[in-house]
Amino acid sequence: MTRPKPSLSAVARQALEQIVGARWVTTDPALLTAHAWNTGVGKVPGSEKVGPVWPLAAVLPATTEEVAAIVKCCLRHGLNFRPHSTGYGSMSNVKDPHSIVLDLRRMTTLEIDPAHRMAIVGPYVTAGMLQAVALKHGLTCHIVGAGPAHSPLASATSLIGVGITSQGTSMNQRNLLAWEWVTPQGEIVRGGAAGAGAGWFTGEGPGPGVRGMVRGFVGGSGGLGVFTKMGYKLYPVPVQGPLADTGRLPQLGLPIPGNAGFFQAVWPDWERHREATFALIDEHLCFAMLRMPADHIGWTVTGTNADYVRQLREGTLSDVARAEHDKSWTLLTFSSSAAEHAWRSGAVRDIVERTGGRLLPLRQDDAEVLYRNLFTSQYVPRVLRPSGGITTSFGVLDSFHFMPRVIEAGEECLGGDNRPGGPLVEGSREENWAWPHEGRYMWSENIVDFDPASETARVAAARALLSHYRICWQQPVGTLPLGLGPLMEVQGERISAPQHLIRAVKHHLDPVDASRSPDFIPFQMPALLQKVLPPLRPVLFSKPVLGLAARGIAKAGM
């Protein structure tokens, strides 16, 4: 395996070493391999695990000032750059070989301000680290679906930011308070209260209030410079850390606190499930509400894949993991007193009963394992466990009014490929995860498990992913939230991609496209393509064209 040319010039390398020190600049292929690794997040990995484009170097700054100096150095030497934080997925892959990676692992600021229920966080702090420290003060943080290994700063500033406790901990688009940002021109900007030197407590205070411009919903994905520090909102919980484990590896749980209610509720059909959902949200009863498909619950309450398969075949799975109980909510309530706990628990039971549902009895060990996974967002390893490869097909950010249709669309995307003998990992008819945000609307995504070493499986996974866009184009089902990179351009404004505004911001802040990201909107769109693309979209989203695209994606592994 040969690292592509060109190489970093001696002059540019010397300039970078003067900024951070020789120890923190590397062109060693053995180290750069990590930044060319091609497993992706939301991508379909190919048989070739290392991508074709490698960075010229990896540079490890320790301060915001060093980041700014590196960006200016890149501009002087005609280089592009890509920032990278904790490395949950392959999000530091560069777009062209004239690029360096800013590896931010030395930037580990972590301060808790319990009086104002907030943290001051650097890029390499993980959500698990932050939660562990915050719980010492009876506080917790939002953890996105990627799990506790993700960077809250990256999530809050740069990439989506939704997670399974969003009912009680909002979503990271709004948990971002003040921030420190190095623009693509190398200027240091402090936004919100930090911009006025007033601390880190608010994003729309006396400093510039530009969260919508630099953040929006999807985020800059590394295409709008580098975020180096932020003020981040925390939430009070009746839990005091450190937490004591229950069970034994791999089935670790947590004891459910005294003033917490943990329920598994099921309904006979999606219409009554939806009715109950609106009632539960209207009463603001729950800290967290999570719908998982039954097979994913089964992977969680069993210690190994072999245990799950054996219990499934023997018919000995816990009730909570049975396929007939898939129209469900996992519900978590937190209360500040015994009286409040009794009221919340009673209200949950009443809503479930009067909407035609029922509460499943939970074994203590199952409840403790499920609670741990919910509260800490540890579900990700369980979702990956069956195969090592996942992507997302159908997803919606909209009203729970769409829930029954979303479930149907998830099944349609999979197309039976995850039934016994199919090319995907065997599972439920659909694999839809869903949860509410702040008592307002639904996030959903349909998880596709597949074998990344099999091209046939990769084709099926890519086909499921692309079917999402065909369904949304032909019969819109809520607001599509999962458009990244060129897909923003292809899907168009009809399904929530205001690409012309995003591109205008990009051109203003980064006129030479130095902060280059394959996951951000294309920097330029030829006028002819802009003219012909709208009438071509029905063709592009047709089954035959998407089938060809799926095969191409699977072969390229991107």
Structure confidence by residue, pLDDT tens digits, 473-495: 777 787 766 666 666 676 666 55
CA-to-CA distance for 432 and 291, rounded, in angstroms? 8
pLDDT of residue 24: 98
Q: 3-state class of 542 per DSSP? A: coil
Within 367-422, strands assigned E span 389-398
Surface-to-core class of residue 5, CB atoms within 10 Å of its CB (0-12 exposed, 13-18 middle, 19+ buried): exposed
Residue 301's nearest CA partner among 388, 381, 370 is 370
Residue 356 is classified by DSSP as T
DSSP-derived pairing of the beta strands 99-103 and 57-59:
parallel
pLDDT of residue 42: 47
Task: List phi, psi (to 5°) of 216.
Answer: 55, -145
Between 138-142, 157-161, 265-269, 295-299, the lowest mean confidence (pLDDT) is in: 157-161
Q: Mean pLDDT lowest for which of 145-159, 273-287, 339-353, 391-405? A: 391-405
Structure tokens, 144: 């996105």
Assign residue 240 a region (left: φ > 0; alpha: ψ between -120 and 50; beta: otherwise).
Answer: beta
Closest CA to 557 of 487, 461, 469, 479: 461
Q: Domain locations in the chain?
A: 10-103, 110-236, 257-383, 386-482+526-556
Q: What is the C-alpha to C-alpha distance for residues 426 and 518, in angstroms, rounded to an integer? A: 32
Task: Please give the CATH number for the structural domain made up of 110-236.
Answer: 3.30.465.10
pLDDT of residue 94 exceeding 80: yes
Token pair in block for residue 146: 């990627």
pLDDT classification of 160: cutoffs 50, 70, 90: confident
- 192: nearest Cα among 268, 120, 130, 291: 120
Can you give the length of the chain in residues? 558
Query: Which candidate, 168, 321, 345, 337, places its Cα nearest to that of 263?
Result: 345
Which among 451, 410, 422 has a CA at the least distance from the CA of 292?
410
> Residue 208: its pLDDT value, please?
62
Percent of the chain with pLDDT over 90: 64
pLDDT of residue 214: 82
- pLDDT at res. 310: 96
CA distances from 150 to 88, 113, 126, 147, 385 (A): 6, 21, 5, 6, 18
Higher pLDDT, 370 or 454: 370
Q: Identify whether the C-beta of residue 220 lies closer than 8 Å to the C-beta of residue 157.
A: yes
As a whole number of Å, the end-to-end CA separation of the chain is 19
3-state SS, 168-187, equals HHCCHHHHEEEEEEECCCCC
Q: What is the pLDDT of residue 209?
A: 67
**pLDDT for 392:** 82
Q: What is the mean pLDDT of residues 52-63?
A: 94
Q: Kindly tell me if the per-residue pLDDT of 41 is higher than 60.
A: no
Q: Tell me which residue of 317, 331, 318 sits closest to 267, measured CA to CA.
A: 331
- Looking at 424-454, list the stretches that DSSP marks H as alpha helix, in order from N- to C-terminal side: none
Q: Cis (ω within 30 of 0) for the bond into 6?
A: yes
Higher pLDDT, 48 or 367: 367
pLDDT at 553 exceeding the cut of 90: no
pLDDT score for 385: 87
3-class secondary structure per residue, 216-254: CCCCCCCCCCEEEEEEEECEECCCCCCCCCEEECCEEEC
- Do residues 239 and 135 lie in contact, with contact meaning Cβ atoms separated by under 8 Å? yes
Q: How many other CB atoms sit within 10 Å of the CB of residue 147? A: 23
pLDDT digits (tens, 9 = 90+) for 197-229: 778 887 766 666 678 788 877 888 889 999 999
Decide if 371 contacts 332 (C-beta within 8 A): yes
Q: Which CATH number is correct for 10-103, 3.40.50.10800, 3.20.20.140, 1.10.150.570, 3.30.43.10?
A: 3.30.43.10
189-193, 431-435, 534-538: least confidently modelled range:
534-538
Distance CA(141)–CA(516), nearest Å, equals 30
Which pLDDT score, from 0 to 100, does residue 99 have? 96
Mean per-residue pLDDT of the chain: 89
Choose among 301, 358, 291: nearest CA to 326.
291
Nearest to 473 by CA among 485, 490, 459, 461: 490
What's residue 526's pLDDT? 80
User: CA-CA distance, 197 to 539, in Å (whole number)?
Assistant: 53
Side-chain half-sphere CA neighbours of 354 within 13 A: 10
133: Cβ contacts below 8 Å, ≥ 6 apart: 110, 112, 119
Range 257-383 has CATH code 3.40.50.510: no
343-400 pLDDT tens trace: 999 999 999 999 999 999 999 999 999 999 999 999 887 888 888 788 888 788 889 9
Q: Which residue has the higher pLDDT, 234 or 218?
A: 234
pTM of the model: 0.93
533 pLDDT more than 80: no
Burial group, residue 415, by CB count within 10 angstroms (0-12, 13-18, 19+): middle
**Identical fold at 10-103 and 257-383?**
no
